[in-house]
Amino acid sequence: MSNPGPASPVVLSLRGVSKAFGAVQALRDVSVDCRAGEIHALVGENGSGKSTLLGIASGFLAPDEGVIEIGSRKRRRTSPAETRTLGLGIAYQTYSHVLDLSVAENLYLAAPPALQPKYGQMEEWAAARLAEFDLDISTSARAGSLSLAQRQLFEVVKALLARPKVLLLDEPTTALGPEDVEHLHSLVLAHRRAGVGIVYVSHRLPEVLEISDRISVLRDGVCQGTFEAASMTEEELVTLMIGRPLELAFPERPDLAEHRDVLLAVAGLQGDRFGPIDLEVARGEILGIAGAEGNGQVQFLRALAGAERATGTAICDGNALDSRSPVGPLRAGVVLLSGDRAAESLFPVLSVRANSTVQILRRLGSVGLLNRRRERRTVDDLVRRLRIRAASIEQPVQTLSGGNQQKVSLTRPFLRGDVKVILAEEPTQGVDVAARFDIYDALRAKVREGVSVIVKSSDPLELAGLCDRVVVMSRGRIVDEIHGDDLGERRIVEAIVGSRAPTDPGSGPREAAA
């Protein structure tokens, strides 16, 4: 990688940027800059503040504190329209397409007024622009009908439309296959040669090290420093990204018996965003699913729970799972703990008691009426066991802390006697440390009763401590499996960032569909 050298002018500079969302401090006094003709990578774990920083640079988010400087114009507050005219282009991770409009219309809206042709010449103009960037999609297609890879490349083309001096790319390769990644990288390198400053956000460290000149590391919203890419290794980056020395006491793992029976067997399961996936989960096992966000982990769990469409088979305890709707899996004892607690798991205005017992009311009733005393006794007992901190079991769930809310959603599989598999999506997201370990203990306790748990988590430390075995998903498939003494936080992070080719062929990529 040639270094543009310190002589190149700075095209983007963020100084002392802080931003909070409610009680969460997303960024704390972050300063980074990008020079003309360099690729400046921004790395960090999920939720470390990368996207927030780009959103602030583009004017989409307003910083609480700090200054944005594009070219040599200083701004405390700006807007997407202004940063675009100042010469900034951005490709958002979650895109900026209006899905119900055509490709041509989307391209037209992305162009600054000075570059927009007459409305009537939009189609020809759009076709010419797409040809210029070598993107083979129809101008009249609805943006929503594009594949995810096409949407991602189209987003980059939109960012390049106004010939920016500084280009921000937020995870531009998550939906791309190797060929498309190469196409994108050659496009990015061509712009670097032309003197464009590029900020490149990615969790794929090999990509980052290959393409970038300098690398800044974010952790929990704080910049850990900016480094010359040539002087860094993946190991050093991973250490900076995790940065936590803490090794808290996870519940003890029981000795794994050699031949335990398979409780859940998945074969050739394939959905819109994942698959084909083959997977077996033993009775009494906690299986972790790791991977960078958006690689199909959530969709896979939801498909198992009947909340997402998929083809293939899943067998639970000897019976085929009917996943056409959530009813089949629920009856078979497969319970999903959604990561979107407020929207999908809980009734926020109802009490702890009502939320816990909503699925087992029949059992608590007699002659069609609810036996309140029996209900209260049941819930009281559980609140003690899970250490739910509420003023009373009549307290509305929405007034509890995040950790206690999560515990309340956990009460349901505990109260149901017939649960076989718990699918937990981010079980400790937004949960404070103490509550976190209560949840781990509770899951372990449930497993001892012969239940199996699949945990999808973006926290490698959690997966390493809690799980008996971890599989890593990338682009919708299982690409790695980690178990035994190998199972550690660093090993998981390395697998996620792709720095380690799967060594064991038996646990490697299972590309062939059954």
* Residue list 53-72, contact with another protein (CB under 8 A): 58, 60
* Cβ-based neighbours of 406, under 8 Å, separated by 6 or more: 341, 427, 428, 429, 430, 431, 435, 439
Whether the CA torsion 124, 125, 129, 130 is positive or negative: it is negative
Rg of the chain's alpha carbons, rounded to an integer? 25
- 280 contributes a contact to another protein by CB under 8 A: no
- 323 contributes a contact to another protein by CB under 8 A: yes
What is the distance between the alpha carbons of residues 57 and 79, in angstroms, rounded to a whole number? 9
Q: What φ, ψ does residue 140 adopt, rounded to 5°?
A: -95, -5
- 377 contributes a contact to another protein by CB under 8 A: no
- 105 contributes a contact to another protein by CB under 8 A: yes
Among 1, 20, 67, 98, interactor with another protein by CB under 8 A: 98
* Token duo for residue 188: 């990015």
- 437 contributes a contact to another protein by CB under 8 A: no
Shortest separation between residue 83's beta carbon and another protein, angstroms: 8
Which of 328, 378, 319 minimizes the C-alpha distance to 353?
A: 378
Q: Which span sits near another protein by CB under 8 A: 287-295, 315-323, 452-460, 469-477?
A: 315-323
What is the distance between the alpha carbons of residues 391 and 21, in angstroms, rounded to a whole number? 27
Closer by beta carbon to another protein, 105 or else 462: 105
Q: Which span sits near another protein by CB under 8 A: 90-98, 349-357, 424-432, 448-456?
A: 90-98
Give the DSSP H or E segment for 499: none
Closer by beta carbon to another protein, 138 or else 395: 138
Among 6, 120, 245, 484, interactor with another protein by CB under 8 A: 120
Q: Which span sits near another protein by CB under 8 A: 111-119, 281-289, 366-374, 382-390?
A: 111-119
287 and 281 in contact (C-beta within 8 Å)? yes
Among 10, 20, 101, 350, interactor with another protein by CB under 8 A: 101
348 and 398 in contact (C-beta within 8 Å)? yes
Give the DSSP H or E segment for 7: none
Among 142, 219, 374, 490, interactor with another protein by CB under 8 A: 142
Among 169, 289, 310, 466, interactor with another protein by CB under 8 A: 310
- 112 contributes a contact to another protein by CB under 8 A: yes
* Residue list 121-140, contact with another protein (CB under 8 A): 140
Whether the CA torsion 42, 48, 50, 56 is positive or negative: it is negative
What Cα–Cα distance (Å) separates residue 444 from each residue in 284, 337, 437?
Answer: 9, 16, 10
Number of residues that bind another protein (CB under 8 A): 51
Q: Which span sits near another protein by CB under 8 A: 41-49, 89-97, 170-178, 476-484?
A: 89-97
Shortest separation between residue 275's beta carbon and another protein, angstroms: 9
Among 46, 239, 313, 499, interactor with another protein by CB under 8 A: 313
Closer by beta carbon to another protein, 97 or else 446: 97
What Cα–Cα distance (Å) separates residue 376 from each residue in 222, 246, 356, 360?
Answer: 46, 39, 10, 13
Looking only at the bridges linking them, the beta strands covering 262-271 and 310-316 are antiparallel
Among 270, 357, 457, 458, interactor with another protein by CB under 8 A: 270
- 326 contributes a contact to another protein by CB under 8 A: no
Q: 316 has which bridge partners?
A: 264, 319
What is the distance between the alpha carbons of residues 206 and 496, in angstroms, rounded to a whole number? 11
Residues that bind another protein (CB under 8 A): 58, 60, 79-81, 84, 90, 92, 95-102, 105, 108-110, 112-113, 116, 119-120, 140-142, 145, 265, 267, 269-272, 303, 306, 309-315, 318-324
